[in-house]
Structure formats: C-alpha cells, structure tokens
Amino acid sequence: MIKRLRSTTSTSGRRMAGARALWRAAGMKNEQMGKPVIAIVNSFTQFVPGHVHLHEIGQKIKVEIEKLGCFAAEFDTIAIDDG
C-alpha cells in the first residue's frame, strides 16, 4: 500500500490551483510538486552571537534536502540567550 504524502493535499488536484500558485511564489519548482515538504526550524538571529552561524547551517541543510528533489521551507523559532 502506497501512503500518500500530506503535502500532496495542497500540491495536486484541480481545486488546489491557488495553493500551487502560493507554493510557486514561495520557490517550489514544478518537479518538487507532490514530493515531501520538509521544514527546517532555525533559531538564527543576529542578536544572539551564539546563533549567528545557524543561518549558514540552515542554508546547507536546505541545499541537501533539495538535492533529493524535496522542497525545504525554513522558518524561525525562539533563540534562547543566557544574557
């Protein structure tokens, strides 16, 4: 039994043309439609010195995910600081 990806809910079918337009505006390529959408949660910020390097790491991870044909979407989270 083939398990359908949840991300195909918004990337396939006639009724999801608007959602596909939003995915394309976010950078999704045609060949990524129907493939896994993988989130990269990153606490990068310029205000916490210990988190500055995380932007570069997040970008490297994104490149590796996209090499697999998937779509990588990065978003931020709280950056904890001891100061």
**pLDDT of 82 over the 80 cut:** no
Domain boundaries, the chain: 6-76
Q: Span 31-54, mean pLDDT?
A: 94
**Average pLDDT, rounded, for the chain:** 92
Q: According to the model, what pLDDT value does residue 83 have?
A: 67
With bands split at pLDDT 50, 70 and 90, how would you rate the model's confidence at 80? confident
pLDDT score, position 75: 94
Q: In this predicted structure, what is the pLDDT of residue 33? A: 92
Residues 12-35, mean pLDDT to the nearest whole number: 93
Residue 3 has pLDDT above 80, yes or no: yes
The 3-class secondary structure across the chain, one letter per residue, is CCCCCHHHHCCCCHHHHHHHHHHHHCCCCHHHCCCCEEEEEECCCCCCHHHCCHHHHHHHHHHHHHHCCCEEEEEECCCCCCC
